[in-house]
Structure 1
Amino acid sequence: MSRKHQFIEESRKQWSSEPAFVASMTAAAVGLGNLWRFPYIMGENGGGAFVVAYLIALVVVVMPIMILEVAAGRLSKGSTVGTYRQVGRFGAAYGWFVVLVTVAITSYYLVITGWTLGYAVDSVRGNVRVFQEFSAGFNSLWYFAVVTVLGALVLARDVQAIEKLSKLLMPALLAIVLFLVYRASQTEGWGEAKDFFFRVDWSRLLDGSLWGFAFGQAFYTLAIGQGYLVTYGSFIPRKTHVPRACITVAVVETSVALLAGWMIFPFVFSYGLEPGQGSALAFETLPRVFADMPGGGLLAILFFGLFFAAAFSSSLAGLKVVVAAVAEEFRLRNTTAVILVSVVMLVLGTASALSFTPLEWRIAGEPVLDVVDRVAGGDVIIFSGITGAALLCWFIPPHRIRTVLGTASRWWEWRMYLVGRYLPVLVLAWIVVTYGVSQVRGG
């Protein structure tokens, strides 16, 4: 065993069981990607047509890649960079690209996690405000800094801290969301919300941009191409059935995303708000809901407290990806790597935080956070996920991946390698055809 491999083995700890692994993975996948991002992306992209495209993307493409990434992490038992180094020098470069993507996403993710902390604090004080009032000062910046430091303190301990938080998080959060969906079903906007979900404009499915948003959201919420799955897979217990664990996470993730839509949109329509208003959708809607609801003060405390817990768990997952890569590649102590990564996050995330303060930092008239989310959380992670799957499937023999799936069935092996090897070709063909059609129309 090489010195570096021995260092990696000694520095890693496994989840205590498959259910613990699933709970932690679910908490990392659910988080803000479902409760915050899914409703606003759906609101901006036509409702029902987006849901159809999202579910197709999830089942046909994203699930096989998810299982592949977890299996690859289990095979290598290393960081993102170490895992992709198995495929050669270019693989290591790609691994660092994934880490950089995760740095970009986590930097603004911490900002939004700060919003959830701010709303949790305000709900305890009995002063929950709509987002425009909340962001009138520098709350976005201060809470971002607090959350980043808090994340550093948690990760300076070990993986068990995330596991314990995850076990407590999911049941309580799901119960609150279900209750809010029930209350939403009693509003006058429920019928309009049903139409928004179930009336599908099938012609929209011919729109390539809709599929881009659908795939981007599916890749985003299941953490494809971001190093989360590879890193978490490297901690997986030996007897874990990888496809079963991943399917469980995907089902819970999709259910929570759809429930978040049913929780938000009836109130959006009841209050006459615009479903396509963007990233502040949930933070503009929910304060109004709790203000008008009997016992809303207590419910606000419970919801925003759990909302923060979900967001914080996802932020920890992103930080863990970066910390694991930095610690193992540069042979740093965990605490040193945590401090270094936290400082980088504080520097990069400040631009996103300041975009929702009186300074209103913008890029081409759009908040910095929204621009980073659209770019890093859309086309970039689609490219990253497809590239990573191709590298794993073309350079790692199927029989090696088969040994760590935890199942004798070859069904998922066949699905993974079919998608991983040939999806890049299909995407390239689609780009060429789309470009050609646009040129003909333009001419």
Structure 2
Amino acid sequence: MERWSSRTAFILASVGSAVGIGNIWRFSSVVGQNGGGAYLVPYLMAVFAFALPLMMLELAVGRRLRGDVVTAFGRARPRFRPLGWVVCAVVFSILSYYLVVTGWTLAYVGFSIAGEGVEFADFTSTYSPIGYFIISALVMGAIVSLGIKDGIERATKLLIPFSFLLLLGLAAFSSTLEGFGAGWRYLFTPDFSVLADPLLWAAAFGQAFFSLSVGYGILLTYGDYLDEGIGILNSSLIITFADLAVAILAGLVIFPVVFTYGLEPAAGAELAFSTLPRAFEVMPYGSAFAVAFFALLFSAAMTSAVSMLEVGAASVAAATGISRRRVSFALTAGTIALGLPSALSYSSAALEVGGVRVLDIMDDTVGGLGLVLTATLIAVTFTWFMDGRALAEEMGRGRRLALPIAKYAVPAVMAMTLLARALL
């Protein structure tokens, strides 16, 4: 069984799983749609009070049971083994359309390098998005096929420092823009009156779990490769603060541009691919800014995609005995097949169901409801049906708070999030 070569390698890989499009594009999008600074109140509460304990639980379960997601569920209770496959299926489905967006970021890296100002509507009126989607999937599959040390570690050791350097450089440049003060105030000045909106809280909790990659079995899988003696609490805090730092810095990159050039902060998903490119075309050093921004998005998206594929690859390889290389490429082919309708929905085919693009349907159903399901399954299974003393021993420091939260509060929050979505 492969292991992380060092604590640093594990931290970088885990940060890579957490730091993705959710931190940069989606975080700023959700902040803009939910009143700016007010959103940070429930978001920070969700991160530290709920997502962090679930992260500790996943890492502890993975290391204690020494197994992939399916194996871990089976070792908790043999009859729960199929639930592990449910988690794998949800993550695999999310990955299928996540790679479509990853392909968009790769395309815009190319457009930016070539100095082409391509409108998102023009880009998606061709079949080009499908090609970029397939390229992104193949890159992901190649990385995972190489294994833990030669594939995932090497990729994250390159991409994570690269992403942080790009982000710091972009934030430094944004601080010189006229709208930096307005962007800062928008991000950090809360309007407490909107905190009465339950949808704001639902959005914050969903983003916190999505951003930190908790509840998907990713960190449970990574915990399987973690050596004894590495503190779970300290490691979880480092991962959480790194993830949070990226999200905040991304806001300080994007919102100054938005306010400097009179853009709409609540533009949502259009912000990264439609709104910001227009600003890049007219701002000083806009071409270089655009290249760095989309390279950052692609790097972050790829490390997250790799971690999602690893969940299924580890489980299938363990269950079948087939080599990692063959499993990785088989699952990559499956991801392409499953993600093709989502890719076609944002192409000249404009594939829709009931007037809604397939990718949007996938994001709203599998993306929105899938996390509720998987997080609940993980929290309930491993706190109610696993030896609590063994789990507490594995967690070490912080267990007195983390275990009760994961056992009682996380399932309750997931249920309330689901109820808020259904009623509102």
Normalised by the size of structure 2, how large is the TM-score?
0.92
Q: Is the 8 A contact 1:193 1:262 kept in 2?
A: yes
Distance 2:411 2:391 in 1: 22
1:345 matched residue in structure 2? 335
1:215 positional shift:
0.8
- SS in structure 2 at match of 1:404: helix
Is contact 2:376–2:411 with CA below 8 Å preserved after alignment?
Answer: no
Kept after mapping to 2: 8 A contact 1:219/1:382: no
Q: Deviations over 1:338-397 (max 9, x none)?
A: 122112111111121112112222344333223322333333313321331121111112
Question: After the TM superposition, which of the residue ranges 291-300 and 58-67 deviates more from structure 2?
Answer: 291-300
Q: Say which of 351, 355, 378 aligns to 1:365.
A: 355
Letter of the aligned partner of 2:403 in structure 1? Y
The within-5 A match list for 1:85-124 is 85-124=74-113
- Distance in structure 2 (CA, Å) of the matches to 1:367 and 1:53: 30
CA contact (8 A) 1:205 1:211 kept: yes
Q: Deviations over 1:27-57 (max 9, x none)?
A: 1110212112111122222222221111001
- Give the match for residue 422 of structure 1: 408
Does residue 398 in structure 1 map to residue 388 in structure 2?
yes
Q: Please, which of 25, 29, 32 is the counterpart of residue 18 of structure 2?
A: 29
Q: State the Cα distance separating 1:61 from its structure 2 match.
A: 0.9
Unaligned runs of 5+ in 1: 1-11
Instruction: Please give the per-residue CA displacement for 1:139-186, whole angstroms capped at 9, x wherever unaligned.
Output: 211100111122222222211222112122223322222222233233
Letter in 2 for 1:388: I
Query: In structure 2, how many angstroms separate the alpha carbons of the residues matched to 1:114 and 1:190?
Result: 30
Note if contact 1:212-1:378 (Cα within 8 Å) is conserved in structure 2: no
Question: 2: CA distance between counterparts of 1:157 and 1:364?
Answer: 41
1:21, distance to aligned residue in structure 2 (A)? 0.3
C-alpha separation in 1, matches of 2:204 and 2:97: 21
Q: Which runs of 5+ in 2 are unaligned?
A: none
Q: Does 1:308 align with 2:298?
A: yes
**Cα-Cα RMSD:** 2.5
Identify if the C-alpha distance between structure 1 residues 391 and 312 changes in structure 2 by more than 3 Å, giving closer, same or farther. Answer: same
Counterpart of 1:15?
4
1:131 equivalenced with 2:117 (yes/no): no
Q: Is the 8 A contact 1:119 1:128 kept in 2?
A: no
Residue matched to 1:6: none
- Percent identity of equivalent pairs: 34
Distance 1:312 1:47 in 2: 28
Equivalence for 1:246: 236
Report the TM-score, using the length of structure 1 for normalisation: 0.88
SS state at 1:396 partner? coil
Cα distance in 2 for partners of 1:149, 1:428 equals 34
Give the corresponding residue for 1:141: 130
User: How far is 1:257 from its partner?
Assistant: 0.6
Alignment check: 8 A CA contact 1:361 1:368 kept: yes
Shift of 1:231: 0.7
Native 8 Å contact 1:386 1:423 kept in 2: no
Partner of 1:7: none
Question: Contact conserved, 1:212 with 1:379, CA < 8 A, in 2?
Answer: no
- Residue identity matched to 1:30: V
Secondary structure of the structure 2 residue equivalent to 1:312:
helix
- The residue identity in structure 2 corresponding to 1:110 is L
CA offset at residue 92 of structure 1?
A: 1.6
The one of 147, 159, 183 equivalent to 2:173 is 183
The partner residue of 1:334 within 285, 310, 324 is 324
SS at match of 2:19: helix
Residue-by-residue CA offset, 1:209-252 (whole Å, 9 max, x unaligned)? 11111111111111112111111111112221111111101000
Amino acid at match of 2:336: L
Structure 1 residue 62: Cα displacement: 0.9
Aligned counterparts of 1:16 and 1:115: Cα–Cα separation in 2: 33
1:428, distance to aligned residue in structure 2 (A):
8.2
Structure-2 residue corresponding to 1:323: 313
